[in-house]
């Protein structure tokens, strides 16, 4: 007792030489590379037309990356956006991409909508997880709701809770609402760069009820591994919320303050998204709205229209084809920004009939200006 | 700054790389000292002054004892001056609370206000480290250190600063006597080996077990006997993995820097007696108490009564060292009683020769688990409630995670293997590589993301 011991007179003999450490590093790196490949058989998850990622997996970016790769192989074009594209109040066969495909008579547009994907998060998902759609035609939806207040625009200090914090810029040009710890920044940056880590997050979200394995075994003490969630879980067929008209849901017209475009963080992020996509060779088309201005007070509506006008001017200046669908009738909306099933049908119809959309289509569909198969 | 945090990863790599560059220069120790003070200042910049104060007091005492004939006076002054902050920060609140409980019984209606102070991290550890040096100087066991730089580096060496091991001055100062040794590749490989094992113990095992333990011990009245017993079993392993994991990481970091730090754990749950347990658990502390308290009290040289009295005093003070609460006093007392019992049992030929080693190990393990109840419970009433419920509240479904049980039993089986004649199986190169690969993948794949502090940082 008390005699200083040599460093390895220990309770265990695990001591590796340099060569053994090198071998260990190779084995571990190999395992970390292979595990995501041996993991859940992703390809079996997205069978069927009008596939969309289930709402429960909206922060599963590994799944988004996998699905965008599948979507590229399956469809000539993709639609990116938030829950308006995803179809919060509608089934997967009633979404914007479905309606466009319906008009095309073929599966042309894949739904890459993600719930809560505000422009700052869109910038992150496109940059770090959207590599598979490089060079593809992309229809980008902009939901102006993200500019409706300082909070939505991520400019309200102290408002730390918002969707997809891991996707927003972590170091430079960070939104004012975001105050991460150093560990959170490192985690987010590593997760973007190391496929294994985003796959690990995927297993948590998709198989462990959003918990880590340790917490999951606390909830399920007599099980070691989760069982497969089954194809229904991954189908994404069902809406995220019950479809109902906004008035029936008790939403009253609001006086949304709106952030002016030049000062809007989200608008700047959206501009970055468009530039990024174009720098990657994507043919970009922007859809602005259709926002439910029935649910705005007169004053708020004026500010909104001024905002949209500035956005359209920028898109015009940059030569980005775009379209702002007309205001739908009030019964076509589920809330301030989400159309109901018939609303999507009307938007798709207007879009297909619009000259800018047709011109955009001509630019990548063999110059026919028609949706393939139409 | 926890060893298993990103902040430490950045700090550790930066310190190591600069230390490598400076290791052939006379600035190596300057750098190590600066890094250590920065590391300590991270927990609270004001506490650095406390560390420097204790360092200066003991350095000066060493010097004065060499020059002055009044050695005992200087020893007393140093011990008093070093213990004073520990007594104030750690025990003032406990003393006031105890007084407040007693005063009304004496007919005094006064209530004293407990000082609202935060216990500086590592205070108990560096206090004992420095006192060990001063007492060794007084006894003439070591020569006093003439360089304040070397002494301050010993006092504040960052890998062992917050939770030990309580390194002996003779061992550490010898390694820097003629400048620190330049670390080589083998040191780094060995250091990494220790660090990974420690990291696995902490994040994959201790933090995992704490999920169950915290849930049950937070509301012991809501759980049945079997669940409380399972949580106590889990805590026994949690605290072992937590503290020995910290120690492994500390020793690994020190080794990578070219320093050997003393062993602190040696498979304590394989002990066959309570004396054996304390030869295996927190060795640096138990040996400190043996050398600086038990033996000076007379040890076992003055008859059975004095021996047991000395053991009792040592164990109760050891309990109080861990925490200022009556539960820790009882914990120390129970361990003392356990030591008496197993010491007497070991004197009987039947117990010594006929009782199987495994049975002795299980007996000691169960007793140690029982003692942990008082260590872990938040109050004395909770401790008594847990004991009562374990023995009388029936057997419900403990919902103890199977994975937790498998991991604990696997480690236990591994420890049995290591201490058996089959140790060579564990030393076989493919087995070692496979074990490290498993630990790394386990840490990366299934460990929780949160950095929980080490249990022993509160002491």
Q: Domain extents for chain B?
A: 6-182, 187-450
Q: Is residue A12 part of a domain?
A: no
CB contacts, 8 Å: A196 with chain B: 444
pLDDT at B324: 84
**Given a cut of 70, is residue A45 above it in pLDDT?**
no
pLDDT at B131: 96
Of B458, B457, B438, which is closest to residue B197 (Cα–Cα)? B438
Taking a contact as any Cβ pair under 8 Å apart, which residues of chain A between 208 and 247 contact chain B?
A: 212-215, 217-218, 221-224
Residue B169 and residue B114 in contact, taking contact as beta carbons nearer than 8 Å: no
A20–chain B Cβ distance below 8 A for any pair:
yes
Share of chain B above pLDDT 90, in %: 74
Tokens describing residue A267: 């608008």
> Which residue of chain B comes nearest to A16, CA vs CA?
B193
- Asked if the Cβ–Cβ distance from B447 to A214 is below 8 Å, we say yes
Q: Is residue A17 part of a domain?
A: no
Tokens describing residue A205: 């979200």
Helix (H, G, I), strand (E, B) or coil at A83: helix
Q: Is residue A29 part of a domain?
A: no
Alpha helices in A208-297 (DSSP H): 213-219, 231-235, 265-279
Taking a contact as any Cβ pair under 8 Å apart, which residues of chain B between 240 and 299 contact chain A?
A: 244, 248, 251, 255, 260-263, 265-267, 279, 283, 286-288, 290-291
What number is the average pLDDT over the span B40-55?
Answer: 92
- Asked if the Cβ–Cβ distance from A182 to B7 is below 8 Å, we say yes
Q: What is the 3-state secondary structure (H, E, C) of B41-93?
A: HHHCCCHHHHHHHHHHHHHHHHHHHHHCCCHHHHHHHHHHHHHHHHHHHHHHH
Of A176, A186, A130, A181, which is closest to residue A156 (Cα–Cα)? A176
pLDDT at A9: 61
Burial of A160 (0-12, 13-18, 19+ CB in 10 A): exposed
> Which residue of chain B comes nearest to A199, CA vs CA?
B445
- Asked if the Cβ–Cβ distance from B433 to A217 is below 8 Å, we say no
CB contacts, 8 Å: B290 with chain A: 1-2
Q: Is residue A337 part of a domain?
A: yes
What number is the average pLDDT over the span A11-23?
Answer: 87
Residue A308 and residue A144 in contact, taking contact as beta carbons nearer than 8 Å: yes
pLDDT at B451: 67
Distance between CA atoms of residues B425 and B419, nearest Å: 11
**Given a cut of 90, is residue A130 above it in pLDDT?**
yes
* pLDDT tens sequence across A156-203: 887 568 999 999 999 999 999 998 988 889 889 999 998 889 998 888
Q: What are the residues whose beta carbons fall under 8 Å from the beta carbon of B358, sequence distance 6 or more?
A: none
- Asked if the Cβ–Cβ distance from A182 to B6 is below 8 Å, we say yes
To the nearest whole Å, the CA of B36 is away from the closest chain A CA by 21
Question: Among A89-103, A223-237, A295-309, where is mean pLDDT lowest?
Answer: A223-237
Give strand ranges (E) for B192-291: none
- Indicate which residues of B carry an active-site annotation: 322
Tokens describing residue A162: 């918002």
pLDDT level of residue A298 (50, 70, 90 thresholds): very high
Distance between CA atoms of residues B167 and B279, nearest Å: 16
B429–chain A Cβ distance below 8 A for any pair:
yes
- Asked if the Cβ–Cβ distance from A2 to B261 is below 8 Å, we say no
Question: Among A44-58, B86-100, B223-237, B325-339, where is mean pLDDT lowest?
Answer: A44-58
- Asked if the Cβ–Cβ distance from A13 to B432 is below 8 Å, we say yes
To the nearest whole Å, the CA of B328 is away from the closest chain A CA by 23
pLDDT level of residue A367 (50, 70, 90 thresholds): low
**Given a cut of 80, is residue A311 above it in pLDDT?**
yes
Q: What are the residues whose beta carbons fall under 8 Å from the beta carbon of A243, sequence distance 6 or more?
A: A89, A90, A334, A340, A341
Q: For an interface test with A, which of B129, B189, B213, B419 has the most A Cβ atoms less than 10 Å from its Cβ?
A: B189
Buried b (16+ CB within 10 A) or exposed e, B340-352: bebbebbeeeebe
- Asked if the Cβ–Cβ distance from B197 to A186 is below 8 Å, we say no
Instruction: For A147-212, give the DSSP string.
Output: GSSTTTTT-STT----S-GGGS-SSTT--TT----HHHHHHHHHHHH-HHHHHHHHHHHHHSTTS-
Tokens describing residue B21: 């560059």
What's the Cα-to-Cα distance from B163 to each of A36, B209, B246, rounded to whole Å? 38, 20, 8
Q: Is residue A211 part of a domain?
A: yes
* pLDDT tens sequence across B101-136: 888 877 777 777 777 778 888 999 999 999 999 999
Q: For an interface test with A, which of B230, B432, B442 has the most A Cβ atoms less than 10 Å from its Cβ?
A: B432
* pLDDT tens sequence across A208-266: 888 889 999 999 999 998 876 766 777 777 888 888 888 888 889 999 999 999 999 99
Nearest to B290 among A1, A4, A28 (CB): A1
Residues of the domain holding A176: 42-364
> Which residue of chain A comes nearest to B193, CA vs CA?
A15
pLDDT at B68: 86
Of B31, B448, B388, B459, which is closest to residue B220 (Cα–Cα)? B388
Taking a contact as any Cβ pair under 8 Å apart, which residues of chain A between 101 and 160 contact chain B?
A: none
pLDDT at A374: 38
Distance between CA atoms of residues B398 and B412, nearest Å: 21
Residue B271 and residue B371 in contact, taking contact as beta carbons nearer than 8 Å: no
- Asked if the Cβ–Cβ distance from B403 to A217 is below 8 Å, we say yes
pLDDT at B218: 94
B3–chain A Cβ distance below 8 A for any pair:
no
State the maximum Cα–Cα separation within chain B, in Å, rounded to a whole number. 71
**Given a cut of 90, is residue A112 above it in pLDDT?**
yes
To the nearest whole Å, the CA of A99 is away from the closest chain B CA by 41
Of A90, A23, A6, A75, which is closest to residue A347 (Cα–Cα)? A90
Residue A287 and residue A139 in contact, taking contact as beta carbons nearer than 8 Å: yes
Distance between CA atoms of residues B49 and B53, nearest Å: 6
Tokens describing residue A202: 């995927």
pLDDT at B448: 64
CB contacts, 8 Å: B227 with chain A: none
Residue B339 and residue B289 in contact, taking contact as beta carbons nearer than 8 Å: no
Instruction: For A319-369, give the DSSP string.
Output: T--EE-PPPPPGGGBSSSS-B-HHHHHHHHHHHHHSHHHHHHHHHHTTT--
**Sheet of strand A283-288, all strands in order from the earlier edge strand to the far edge:** A109-113, A77-81, A137-142, A283-288, A322-323
pLDDT at A39: 57
pLDDT at A10: 60
Tokens describing residue A62: 């590994």
CATH number of the domain at A54, please. 3.40.50.1110
Looking at residue A254, the DSSP 8-state letter turns out to be: B
Q: Is the pTM of this model over 0.90?
A: no
Nearest to A24 among B404, B414, B433 (CB): B433
What's the Cα-to-Cα distance from A340 to each of A85, A95, A295, A343, rounded to whole Å? 12, 9, 15, 5
Beta-carbon count within 10 A of A10 CB: 23
Residue A33 and residue B287 in contact, taking contact as beta carbons nearer than 8 Å: no
Helix (H, G, I), strand (E, B) or coil at B155: helix
Alpha-carbon torsion, ordered A165, A170, A176, A182, to 10 deg:
90
Q: Is residue A370 part of a domain?
A: no
CB contacts, 8 Å: A190 with chain B: none
Burial of A212 (0-12, 13-18, 19+ CB in 10 A): buried
* pLDDT tens sequence across B316-371: 999 999 888 899 999 999 999 999 999 999 999 999 999 999 999 999 999 999 99
Beta-carbon count within 10 A of B164 CB: 28
Q: Is residue A372 part of a domain?
A: no
CB contacts, 8 Å: A212 with chain B: 446-449
Q: Is the peptide bond before B165 cis (omega within 30 degrees of 0)?
A: yes
Helix (H, G, I), strand (E, B) or coil at B334: helix
- Asked if the Cβ–Cβ distance from A13 to B185 is below 8 Å, we say no
CB contacts, 8 Å: B445 with chain A: 35, 200, 213
Q: Please tell me the number of Cα atoms within 13 Å of A147 on its side-chain side.
A: 29
Beta-carbon count within 10 A of A213 CB: 22
Distance between CA atoms of residues A111 and A278, nearest Å: 20
Residue A119 and residue A266 in contact, taking contact as beta carbons nearer than 8 Å: yes
What number is the average pLDDT over the span B293-298?
Answer: 93
> Which residue of chain A comes nearest to B258, CA vs CA?
A7
Number of domains in chain A: 1
**Given a cut of 70, is residue B450 above it in pLDDT?**
no
**Given a cut of 50, is residue A2 above it in pLDDT?**
no
To the nearest whole Å, the CA of A123 is away from the closest chain B CA by 26
B417–chain A Cβ distance below 8 A for any pair:
no
Radius of gyration of the CA atoms of chain B, in A: 23
What number is the average pLDDT over the span A26-55?
Answer: 79
Q: Is the peptide bond before A203 cis (omega within 30 degrees of 0)?
A: no
Share of chain A above pLDDT 70, in %: 90
To the nearest whole Å, the CA of B153 is away from the closest chain A CA by 18
To the nearest whole Å, the CA of A227 is away from the closest chain B CA by 16
Q: Is residue A374 part of a domain?
A: no
Q: What are the residues whose beta carbons fall under 8 Å from the beta carbon of B121, sequence distance 6 or more?
A: B40, B43, B44, B47, B162, B457
To the nearest whole Å, the CA of B6 is away from the closest chain A CA by 6
Q: What are the residues whose beta carbons fall under 8 Å from the beta carbon of A154, sequence distance 6 or more?
A: A118, A120, A162, A168, A175, A176, A177, A178, A265, A266
Q: Say what the ipTM of the complex is.
A: 0.86
Alpha-carbon torsion, ordered A341, A345, A350, A356, to 10 deg:
90
A364–chain B Cβ distance below 8 A for any pair:
no
Mean of pLDDT over chain B: 91
Taking a contact as any Cβ pair under 8 Å apart, which residues of chain B between 289 and 348 contact chain A?
A: 290-291
What number is the average pLDDT over the span B278-288?
Answer: 95
Of A91, A61, A326, A325, which is closest to residue A195 (Cα–Cα)? A61
Radius of gyration of the CA atoms of chain A, in A: 23
CB contacts, 8 Å: B258 with chain A: none
Residue B246 and residue B205 in contact, taking contact as beta carbons nearer than 8 Å: no
Tokens describing residue A294: 């029935």
CB contacts, 8 Å: B218 with chain A: none
CB contacts, 8 Å: B426 with chain A: 12-14
CB contacts, 8 Å: A35 with chain B: 441, 445
pLDDT at A235: 77
pLDDT at B22: 93
């Amino acid at each position: 007792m008390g005699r200083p011991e040599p460093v390895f007179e220990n309770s265990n003999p695990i001591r590796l030489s340099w060569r053994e450490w090198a071998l260990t590093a190779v084995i571990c790196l190999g395992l970390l590379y292979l595990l995501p490949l041996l993991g859940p058989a992703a390809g079996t998850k997205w069978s069927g037309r009008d596939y969309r990622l289930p709402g429960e997996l909206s922060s599963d970016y590994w799944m988004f990356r996998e699905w965008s790769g599948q979507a590229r192989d399956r469809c000539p074009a993709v639609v990116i956006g938030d829950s308006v594209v995803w179809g919060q109040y509608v089934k997967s066969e009633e979404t914007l991409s479905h309606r466009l495909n319906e008009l095309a008579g073929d599966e042309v547009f894949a739904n890459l909508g993600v719930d809560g994907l505000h422009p700052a998060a869109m910038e992150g998902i496109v940059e770090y997880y959207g590599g598979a759609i490089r060079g593809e035609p992309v229809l980008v939806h902009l939901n102006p709701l993200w500019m409706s207040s300082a909070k939505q625009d991520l400019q309200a200090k102290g408002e730390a809770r918002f969707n997809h914090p891991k996707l927003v810029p972590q170091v430079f040009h960070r939104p004012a609402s975001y105050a991460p710890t150093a560990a959170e920044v490192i985690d987010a940056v590593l997760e973007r760069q190391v496929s294994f880590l985003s796959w690990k997050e995927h297993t948590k979200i998709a198989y462990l009820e959003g918990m880590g394995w340790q917490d999951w075994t606390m909830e399920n003490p007599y099980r070691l591994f989760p069982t497969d969630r089954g194809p229904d879980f991954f189908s994404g067929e069902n809406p995220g919320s019950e479809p109902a008209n906004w008035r029936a849901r008790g939403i009253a017209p609001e006086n949304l303050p709106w952030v002016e475009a030049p000062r809007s963080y989200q608008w700047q992020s959206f501009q970055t998204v468009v530039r990024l996509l174009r720098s990657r060779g994507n043919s970009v088309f922007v859809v602005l709205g259709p926002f439910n201005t029935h649910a705005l007070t007169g004053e708020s509506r004026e500010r909104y229209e001024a905002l949209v006008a500035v956005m359209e001017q920028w898109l015009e200046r940059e030569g980005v084809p775009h379209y702002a669908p007309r205001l739908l009738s009030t019964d076509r909306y589920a809330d301030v920004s989400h159309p109901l099933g018939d609303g999507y049908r009307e938007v798709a119809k207007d879009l297909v009939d619009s000259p800018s959309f047709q011109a955009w289509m001509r630019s990548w569909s063999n110059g026919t200006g028609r949706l393939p198969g139409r | 700054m926890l060893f298993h945090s990103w902040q430490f990863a950045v700090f550790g790599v930066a310190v190591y790389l600069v230390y490598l560059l400076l290791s052939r220069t006379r600035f190596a120790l300057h750098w190590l000292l600066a890094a250590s003070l920065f590391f300590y200042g991270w927990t609270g910049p004001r506490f650095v002054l406390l560390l420097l104060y204790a360092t200066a007091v003991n350095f000066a005492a060493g010097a004065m004892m060499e020059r002055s004939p009044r050695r005992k006076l200087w020893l007393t002054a140093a011990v008093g001056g070093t213990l004073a902050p520990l007594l104030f920060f750690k025990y003032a609140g406990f003393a006031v609370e105890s007084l407040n409980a007693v005063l009304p019984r004496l007919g005094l209606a006064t209530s004293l206000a407990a000082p609202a102070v935060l216990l500086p991290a590592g205070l108990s550890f560096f206090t004992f480290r420095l006192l060990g040096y001063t007492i060794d100087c007084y006894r003439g066991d070591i020569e006093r250190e003439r360089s304040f730089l070397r002494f301050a580096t010993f006092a504040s060496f960052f890998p062992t600063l917050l939770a030990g091991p309580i390194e002996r001055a003779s061992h550490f100062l010898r390694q820097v006597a003629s400048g620190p040794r330049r670390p080589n590749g083998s040191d780094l490989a060995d250091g990494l080996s220790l660090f990974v094992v420690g990291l696995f113990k902490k994040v994959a095992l201790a933090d995992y077990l704490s999920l169950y333990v915290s849930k049950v011990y937070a509301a012991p009245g809501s759980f049945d006997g079997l669940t409380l017993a399972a949580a106590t079993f889990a805590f026994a392993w949690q605290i072992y993995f937590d503290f020995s994991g910290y120690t492994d990481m500390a020793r690994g970091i020190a080794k990578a820097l070219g320093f050997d730090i003393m062993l602190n754990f040696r498979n304590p749950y394989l002990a066959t007696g309570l004396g054996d347990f304390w030869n295996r658990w927190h060795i640096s502390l138990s040996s400190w108490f043996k050398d600086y308290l038990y033996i000076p009290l007379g040890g076992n040289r003055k008859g059975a009564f004095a021996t047991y009295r000395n053991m009792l005093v040592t164990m109760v003070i050891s309990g109080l060292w861990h925490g200022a609460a009556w539960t820790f006093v009882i914990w120390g007392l129970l361990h003392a009683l356990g030591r008496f019992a197993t010491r007497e049992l070991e004197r009987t030929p039947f117990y010594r020769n006929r009782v199987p080693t495994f049975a002795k190990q299980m007996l000691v393990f169960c007793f140690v688990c029982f003692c942990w109840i008082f260590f872990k419970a938040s109050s004395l009433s909770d401790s008594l409630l847990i004991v009562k419920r374990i023995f009388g509240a029936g057997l419900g479904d403990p919902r103890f995670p199977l994975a937790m049980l498998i991991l604990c039993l696997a480690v236990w089986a591994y420890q049995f293997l290591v201490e058996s004649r089959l140790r060579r199986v564990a030393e076989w190169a493919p087995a070692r590589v496979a074990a490290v690969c498993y630990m790394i993948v386990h840490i990366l794949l299934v460990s929780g993301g949160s950095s929980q502090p080490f249990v022993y940082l509160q002491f």
